[in-house]
Structure 1
């Protein structure tokens, strides 16, 4: 039996707003410790990991581990119907992922489970030379500034600053943030602006992001809830200068 009840629908909304932009289908795995998923987009550019511990939920029961295979777009369409004050109840019956919103009215949706041959992907083990934290709002502002001139974004860190920049055909942009971390290296890598924008749709998950960066290495972006009950992380492959 699996049953989970959550008083704050925004946690699921913000998570799957990002996830559904990256992958079409996922397998949500549940056990006594909570819910989690690992997924890789079709182009093998972005890896995503979500972990929601049982302690996050108002009520959580999982006697037997479940594998819930769903279409992420369908799940997100249902989640968008949740009102801010609604409680979210999740359960599974034979062939359906059942989502119920309890508020002024009780509304129940059944999402058909899909058949997918699924082996959970695992991210490569990468030892980034630098890690630091930055406010999520700064990342979102940087994306909006950079997209004026380019569809690529260079992320750079040195002893003093975290820098987002772009060199476009019609202009350049640069955003510098004094990180205040103990960093001795100078690292820089280039990424797809659209891919980072997909990740940043999870803006309500955490007010702060941890970035791990290395020269021409994948970008690691991790969001952790203040309570420690949830984590959403992404690993994004870099764009090389030879990429078109």
Structure 2
């Protein structure tokens, strides 16, 4: 069901950040999937949770308040923001700038303080979107932890062959494969090369390479990756950094 919600500010929020690069890197895979979304601001940090327009992927980004050197909030609030514009502004930060963000009335201000003080003002917008799928109802019994570089290599290899990548796992190994006509590729990662391989039953699912290429950009935030798999079932991809937690749920491409 479509819904339109007015995202105004009641009260005030202000935070200060020195490591702008972490925020910029965290936003990169998000804007690949979502152009606008509500940002929930709470006592413990900021959260963006939304699905792409095709409802193929769900993003769940949490930024802990501990990543900010200053974090002042009158009361929990939710603001609608054009994330593409927000991310483009972040790219204008110099390496030695600090960032101050202020939300009050109907605007969000981004202030870069360095050799000069530069202020960008974004409107807080009304957002019309589909309800986010109930991802909390998903149950995963197969968990794999590994370096994201392994997935990056498999994605790049598969991109030479097809537009999808098959993940299959047993208690002995993780296999990623792709094929089209008489061309194929496969990458087999034995248990000894994985940080964790907890497979309750063999599983196999196919996923869009286009979406995987967007999601894996989160490896700039954390090089370690946890994936949860099933058979013809959504995949969960988790990237955990010190003060940033990113989860992506990707629907499978179910084979006929």
TM-score of the aligned structures, taking structure 1 as reference length: 0.92
Tell me the equivalent position of 2:208: 192
CA deviations on 1:150-206 (whole Å, 9 max, x unpaired) are 101101111122221101235111112232534352111000000111111222211
Residues 59-118 of structure 1 deviation map (CA, whole Å, 9 limit, x = unaligned)? 111121221211111111111112333222111132211111222332211112211256
Matches for 1:22-61 after TM superposition, within 5 Å: 22-61=33-72
Residue 6 (structure 1) shift? 1.4
What's the offset of the Cα at 1:209?
0.9
2:141–2:200 Cα contact (<8 Å) kept: no
Are the aligned partners of 1:101 and 1:108 in contact in 2 as well (CA < 8 Å)? yes
**1:162 to 2:174 alignment:** yes
Structure 2 residue matching 1:27: 3-state secondary structure: strand
How many residues are treated as equivalent by the alignment? 240
Q: 3-state DSSP class of the match of 1:185?
A: coil
CA shift at 1:234, angstroms?
0.5
Q: What is the aligned partner in structure 1 of residue 108 from structure 2?
A: 97
Seen in structure 2, the aligned counterparts of structure 1 residues 79 and 183 have a Cα distance that, compared at 3 Å, is same
Aligned-pair CA distance for 1:232:
0.7
Q: Contact 1:31 / 1:66 at 8 angstroms: preserved in 2?
A: yes
Deviation at 1:119, TM superposition (A): 8.0
Q: 1:130 is matched with which residue: 142, 146, 151?
A: 142
- 8 Å CA contact 2:161–2:185 kept in 1: the answer is yes
- Which structure's residues are more often strand, by fraction? 2
Is the 1:31–1:65 contact (alpha carbons within 8 Å) kept by the matching residues of 2?
yes
**Partner residue, 1:238:** 252
Contact 1:38 1:120 in 2 (8 A): no
Secondary structure in structure 2 of the residue aligned to 1:75: helix
How far apart are the structure 2 equivalents of 1:29 and 1:239? 31
**Rounded Cα–Cα distance in structure 2 between residues aligned with 1:2 and 1:81:** 22
- Structure 1: where are the runs of 5+ without partners? none
Structure 2: how far apart are the matches of 1:16 and 1:76?
Answer: 6
- For 1:54-133, what aligned pairs fall within 5 Å after superposition? 54-117=65-128, 121=132, 122-133=134-145
Note if contact 2:178-2:184 (Cα within 8 Å) is conserved in structure 1: yes
User: Does the aligned pair in 1 maintain the 2:219–2:239 contact within 8 Å?
Assistant: no
